Structures are given as structure tokens and as C-alpha cells.
Amino acid sequence: MIKIFGVGRGKPQSTEEGNGSQPRGEDFAAPAQEAPVAPPRKRSPGEIRMQKELAELELPPQVRIVVPEKDNIMSFQLKICPDECYWKGATYTFSINIPNLYPHNPPKVKCETRIYHPNIDLQGNVCLNILREDWNPVQDISSVIYGLLHLFLEPNPTDPLNHEAAEVLRNSKSDFNRLVQRTLRGCSLGGENFQRLV
């Protein structure tokens, strides 16, 4: 809690007892001036909905939410650490931006960690049906979280953003796994650099 001292009270009052020659703070303080109170910021329907969703959200153990700005729940990060898939043991950060017209418009999701994945391109764009044509106001942030987890458990090479990764996955799962493991160790692949994650 932030405490503000001395507002509208003249000089700060000593907590020590004096010799009686100095008047108490209440005796010489200037009349209190009421500071103008800013009206409360009007929250958008999307913000009201998000506040409710976050309060009721039960996260799976592989997921953490980080809110960089305490007063802005419309922009936050998801940190996903898959525990069973090609990318097991690595942590991936997704930025989530909630539009003011949420839930009528879907969240904007971007993968901030470079990944070799058929449904996430090297710029971080995510191909997930509920963020596009299958979105409707019944969906919520929990649907997005589980949708992203599903992309790790079952990548879909038939609806790719990274066509090269999708082709490798379609042709040989063992080759795909080898290339993923290479990127997780921070090796470059096809001229693209990857951060070491394991």
C-alpha cells in the first residue's frame, strides 16, 4: 500500500513529544484542500469479461500467465512448457492481446519464442482455427490456452504456416523430431537461428 504523508496538513507532524513550546500539527495546519478526484476509468465490455475469466481460470500445470502491467489485463503473456511432445522441456512465450470487442472478436496471439513448427511460422504467427473462422463469443481464454497446448501435442501438417516443417512432418516423423531437437539445442536450421531452450 502507498501512504501519502503531509497532504493538506501543513508541515509534517513529529511523532516525538516536544517540550510543550511547539503547537501540535492540528493547531497550525492549513485547511485541507480536496484534490480533484479523477473519475474512474470506464472499462470496456472486453475488459469486464476478461477480469471474470481470469478470476475463474484454472491453468493446466504446463502453463503460466504473466501480466507485465498490473493495470492492463488486456495484454499478457502465456508461458507454455509442454511435458509430452517433440518440444518437451522447452518453454515458449506467447503474447496475448485482447481486443475491446472481446469476446465478439478473438484474441491476437503471437509466439515470441522462435519455434520449428508446422502451425507457427518463424515470425510467430499462429495457425489455430479458434483464432480465425471457428471463433465465436462462447469461446474464452481457456479455449485459446487448450488450443495452443493441442498444437504442441498434435501439430497439424495439413493446415500449415511453416510449409517446410509440415512437409518434413508428413514425410518422416523421425526426421521432424531430429530437426526439432536440433533447434531446441540452439543450432541453426536452413539459415535461421534458434535460441537454445533445453
Annotated active-site positions, please? 127
- Residues 110, 114, 119, CA angle at the centre, nearest 5°? 60
Using CB atoms within 10 Å of the CB of residue 192, give its burial: 0 to 12 exposed, 13 to 18 middle, 19+ buried: exposed
How many CB atoms neighbour CB 124 within 10 A?
18
Three-class SS of residue 1? coil
Number of residues in the chain: 198
Gap between the Cα atoms of 152 and 147, Å rounded: 9
